[in-house]
Amino acid sequence: MWLLKLAWKNLWRNRTRSLITMAAILFAVILASVVTSLQKGVFDNLIKNVVSFYSGYIQVHQKGYWNDQVLENSFEVSDTTERAILGRKGVSALTPRIESFALASSADLTKGCLVAGVAPAQEDRVTGLSGKLSAGTYLRDSDNAVLVAEDLADRLKLKLNDTLVLLAQGYHGTVAAGKYRIKGLLHFGSPDLNDKIVFLPLLAAQGMFAAENRATSYVLSLASPGDLKATAASIAETLGSPYEVLTWEDMMPEIKQHIRTDTASMSIITGILYLLICFGIFGTLLMMMVERRFELGMLQAVGMKKGRLCRLLLAESLLTVTTGCFLGIVTSIPIVGYLHAHPIRISGEMGEVYKRFGFEPIFPTATDPAIYVRQGVIVLIIGLLLSLYPVINILRMKPVAAMRK
């Protein structure tokens, strides 16, 4: 205990230096926490935007559907299955879909399109489809009408309340055809979706494809996207082999890759930050060893064992780094919290670009406590590793040499 007391007193023998070191660590932890939480927040927001375009966080299919997306790989919609999925921890909503490709025609023009039969209310909960309406009104279960993506409607020279004709191959090779009033136009951030998608109420789509009570996928949203893998595994285990459970990462590996690449470049920036912290702490330790060389030699001369002296210096370093880290974490929490509640808004042309592609023009921060703790622990480890310098110095130190004038 007296050793710890002595370490604390030693810490304040050069008050300015100790405070500067602590401040350097404090700002490093704040900067690292804010940068990391901003990065994670931006990625979380990106994922939220991307999955809300269409895919959802998780999809459940008949086994083999993802590799061969035909109606023959559809499954029967069942309350039991839906309840089993919704019963899994983390699943907040579910919607069934039946999807297939079709030819969409107006009076003179025809184009291939993706037809999605959806349960309007459930779909809205999962992907917020009604929010993408740029004209018209949203679907109802009983409608015999469609919502058409803007660019597709433009290509076919169709407007609201015009008639769209769909021609496709139905379940078991039947001919599927139907004509529908355009009840609404949709705007998607994804140019690809904007150019090809048509939404029908699930019942109408099942009728057209002659696939009564069948769906090609259940699309799921999650309460906590962080539990993605665990939730998917849990659903797969519950449903068993007839089904395949895919996460957005499985369905859109390019997004995952983008995040990975961006994270790697951010790691270089945080690495440079850590390097600066290293130099800051090391500079302090170096000065301390030069200033106290004689004293440390004297302490050994009068009978303080090297091990005890090492513990004293380690305690001094630990106190400095821990205090800096603790204050850094405590200060980071309100800053990150504020940036979460009041995210950085991208304005001007860049903001418009974001909106055009269906992204919210904001940079929010993530408030996961693990971020602060991780940054604090990293800086603490750096501090402890650097503390080995005085320890090594002590182990090599000869009192006579240290006390030489």
Residues that bind another protein (CB under 8 A): 2, 6, 9-10, 12-13, 294-295, 298-308, 398-400, 403
Task: CB nearer to another protein: give 305 or 345.
Answer: 305
Q: Least Å distance between CB 362 and another protein?
A: 51
Q: Least Å distance between CB 229 and another protein?
A: 53
Q: Least Å distance between CB 295 and another protein?
A: 7
Task: CB nearer to another protein: give 347 or 396.
Answer: 396
Q: Least Å distance between CB 313 and another protein?
A: 14
Which residue, 35, 48, 47, 58, is CA-closest to 258? 47
Task: CB nearer to another protein: give 11 or 22.
Answer: 11
Task: CB nearer to another protein: give 210 or 403.
Answer: 403
Q: Least Å distance between CB 50 and another protein?
A: 58
What does the alpha-carbon distance between residue 363 and residue 351 come to, in Å, rounded to a whole number? 11
Q: Least Å distance between CB 303 and another protein?
A: 3
Q: Least Å distance between CB 374 and another protein?
A: 34
Task: CB nearer to another protein: give 201 or 297.
Answer: 297
Task: CB nearer to another protein: give 72 or 291.
Answer: 291
Task: CB nearer to another protein: give 9 or 157.
Answer: 9
